[in-house]
């Protein structure tokens, strides 16, 4: 495939004309001018490969139809004005260089500012143009479908275009990966990469270092269905996500130390595997040999690494994990190596299409969920109930998708059974709950691999 260039500029497709016309009218009402351009970045559903991108391993997502759209116009007053169509998100104004991104209290506009700051720094823009922005999002928030990264990506491409910086989709994906960390979450890059590199009709294997996206053609006769547990999990407001990142880092460092490697330089379980030059299966054996299943105390970790508690902050911890006192290492590493293996197996089944391909894919998804639940502890009661219900309703496989702790499940469903499946999940999970029953339409839906980020003209 040809090296993907900058995000395309396309006319608004006819089924979206009403939405973009409304957005243009709202923009005009607010700012008194037409927007100069529209940017759109999609959310995603990860089919398999959870919590392993930040360990350096490949993942297998596809873009969804739900997205973040920004209508924007440049201004010459060096002012940023950020507004949201949803009235529960209040306006933000600042000069282009006069804001701070508050990690302790993440607000919606901080995600925009991450993308803005990232592109300004990456492109070394001396005097960034002022911007009037009106944003509209349809990705369910804090639900594992990557609303946060869709927002950061949409902001990044908006900022690049407003300042006449031509960045390729890969470059944008990489900039938006590191700049989302300004909000505090130490993400791995899956969400931003698929938002930019997705193509309609195909899922993608996303590999890192170097970033690469390879088409994965899904078997015929099945659909992927998303179902939201309706438990919100805000990844920047709580430390759970970063705790997992740090536990993986410490697992890699402890094993590296006992294998005589330069452990201070080693920060990813994937890099540890490369340094040792062994298979994923063998990594599983090494984890069992060198790490104990009980949690490690901070003292024990420090003793193993030969550092003081303060030094550990520099070598391994992050802002919102610097005071942690216990770490679960064995189970986190065991999850990562087995999940990385499941991604390659999933891809191989999609490529080779054996007679029992659908059964195999379903089993891999179920094994992924069990590992997230039992080893990574990133599921929750509602997601466990929902995935079981999906299996009972006819899914071949069902698993939490995204970081977990709440949010959505994704299920592999035979196309012929889709309507019965949707009916059964609706009555089993949504109809009997007053809070969920009003949200069925946006919470339970079949999805197709959607297109990546683009600019639109109206
Ligand atoms: P996700 O799994 O959806 O990425 P995160 O917890 O990482 O969840 O990010 C969710 C946050 O992203 C929200 O709390 C909000 O600040 C921001 N966000 C997402 N979508 C929108 C939107 N449409 N408008 C404003 N902010 C949004
Ligand atoms: Mg997110």
Distance 49 CA to ligand 1 centre (A): 21
Of all protein residues, the one whose alpha carbon is nearest to atom 24 of ligand 1 is 137
Task: Report whether residue 192 contacts ligand 1, using a CB cutoff of 6 Å.
Answer: no
Q: Are 449 and 203 in contact (CB under 8 A)?
A: yes
Our measurement of the distance from residue 145's CA atom to the centroid of its chain's CA atoms, rounded to an integer in Å, reads 7
- The full DSSP string for 365-384 is HHHHHHHHHHTS----HHHH
Tokens standing for 88?
């529960």
- With H, G, I as helix, E, B as strand and everything else as coil, classify residue 206: strand
Q: Are 393 and 428 in contact (CB under 8 A)?
A: yes
- Only one residue has tokens 């004005």, namely 81
Name the residue of 82, 87, 147, 152 to mutate for ligand 1: max ligand atoms within 8 A of Cβ.
147
Question: Which amino acids are annotated catalytic?
Answer: 191
Residue 97's CB: how many other CB atoms inside 10 A? Answer: 11
Beta bridge partner(s), residue 414 = 222
Query: ipTM > 0.95?
Result: yes
User: Cβ neighbours of residue 418 under 8 Å, at least 6 residues apart?
Assistant: 223, 225, 446
Of all protein residues, the one whose alpha carbon is nearest to atom 20 of ligand 1 is 147
- Only one residue has tokens 């890699």, namely 252
User: Cβ neighbours of residue 157 under 8 Å, at least 6 residues apart?
Assistant: 7, 39, 41, 115, 167, 172, 453, 455
Q: How far apart are CA 353 and CA 372, in angstroms?
A: 26
Task: Report whether residue 147 contacts ligand 1, using a CB cutoff of 6 Å.
Answer: yes
Distance 320 CA to ligand 2 centre (A): 16
CA terminus-to-terminus distance, the chain: 29
Nearest alpha carbon to residue 52 among 402, 405, 458: 402
Output the tens digit of pLDDT for each of the chain's 458 residues. Answer: 334 599 999 999 999 999 999 999 999 999 999 999 999 999 999 999 999 999 999 999 999 999 999 999 999 999 999 999 999 999 999 999 999 998 889 999 999 999 999 999 999 999 999 999 999 999 999 999 999 999 999 999 999 999 999 999 999 999 999 999 999 999 999 999 999 999 999 999 999 999 999 999 999 999 999 999 999 999 888 999 999 999 999 999 999 999 999 999 999 999 999 999 999 999 999 999 999 999 999 999 999 999 999 999 999 999 999 999 999 999 999 999 999 999 999 999 999 999 999 999 999 999 999 999 999 999 999 999 999 999 999 999 999 999 999 999 999 999 999 999 999 999 999 999 999 999 999 999 999 999 999 999 99
- The full DSSP string for 240-281 is HHHHHHHHHHHHHHHHHHHTTS-GGG---HHHHHHHHT--HH
Domain boundaries, the chain: 9-217+450-456
By CB atoms closer than 10 A (0-12, 13-18, 19+), residue 370 is middle
Of all protein residues, the one whose alpha carbon is nearest to atom 11 of ligand 1 is 148
Tokens standing for 338?
């087995």
Phi-psi label, residue 203: left if phi above 0, alpha if psi -120 to 50, beta otherwise? beta
Please state the atom number of ligand 1 nearest to the C-alpha of residue 407.
2
Distance 205 CA to ligand 1 centre (A): 24
For the domain bounded by 9-217+450-456, which CATH number is listed? 3.30.230.10
Distance 197 CA to ligand 2 centre (A): 17
Q: Are 83 and 95 in contact (CB under 8 A)?
A: no
Q: How far apart are CA 315 and CA 269, in angstroms?
A: 15
């Amino acid at each position: 495939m040809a090296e993907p260039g900058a995000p395309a500029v396309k006319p608004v497709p006819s089924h979206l004309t009403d939405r973009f016309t409304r957005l243009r009218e709202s923009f005009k009402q607010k700012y008194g001018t037409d927007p100069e351009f529209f940017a759109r970045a999609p959310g995603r559903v990860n089919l398999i490969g959870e919590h392993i991108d930040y360990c350096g391993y490949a993942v297998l997502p596809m873009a969804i139809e739900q997205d973040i759209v920004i209508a924007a116009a440049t201004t010459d007053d060096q002012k940023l004005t950020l507004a949201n169509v949803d009235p529960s998100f209040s306006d933000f104004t600042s000069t282009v260089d006069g804001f701070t991104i508050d990690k302790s209290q993440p607000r919606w506009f901080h995600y925009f500012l991450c993308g803005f700051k990232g592109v300004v720094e990456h492109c070394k823009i001396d005097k960034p143009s002022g911007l009037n922005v009106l944003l509209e999002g349809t990705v369910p928030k804090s639900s594992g479908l990557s609303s946060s990264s869709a927002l950061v990506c949409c902001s990044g491409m908006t900022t690049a275009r407003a300042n006449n910086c031509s960045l390729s989709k890969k470059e944008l994906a990489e900039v938006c990966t590191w700049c989302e960390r300004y909000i505090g979450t130490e993400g791995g890059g899956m969400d931003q990469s698929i938002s930019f590199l997705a193509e309609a009709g195909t899922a993608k294997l996303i590999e890192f270092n170097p970033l690469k996206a390879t088409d994965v053609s899904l078997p015929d006769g099945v659909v992927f269905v998303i179902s939201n547990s309706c438990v919100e999990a805000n990844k920047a407001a709580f430390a759970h996500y970063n705790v997992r990142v740090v536990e993986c880092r410490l697992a890699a460092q402890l094993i590296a130390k006992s294998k005589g490697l330069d452990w201070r330089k080693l920060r990813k379980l994937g890099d540890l595997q490369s340094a040792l030059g062994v298979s994923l299966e063998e990594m599983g054996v090494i984890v069992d040999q060198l790490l104990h299943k009980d949690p490690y105390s901070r003292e024990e970790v420090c003793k193993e690494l030969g550092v003081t508690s303060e030094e550990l902050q520099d070598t391994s911890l992050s802002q919102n994990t610097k005071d942690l006192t216990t770490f679960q290492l064995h189970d986190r590493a065991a999850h990562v190596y087995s999940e990385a293996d499941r991604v390659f197996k999933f891809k191989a089944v999609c490529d080779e299409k054996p007679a029992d391909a659908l059964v195999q894919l379903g089993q891999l998804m179920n094994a992924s969920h069990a590992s997230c639940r039992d080893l990574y502890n990133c599921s929750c009661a509602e997601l466990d109930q929902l995935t079981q219900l999906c299996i009972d309703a006819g899914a071949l496989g069902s698993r939490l998708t995204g970081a977990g702790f709440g949010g959505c499940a994704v299920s592999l469903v035979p196309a012929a059974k889709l309507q019965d499946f949707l009916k059964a999940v609706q009555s089993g999970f949504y109809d009997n709950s007053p809070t969920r029953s009003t949200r069925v339409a946006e919470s339970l839906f079949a999805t197709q691999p959607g297109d990546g980020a683009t600019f639109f003209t109206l």
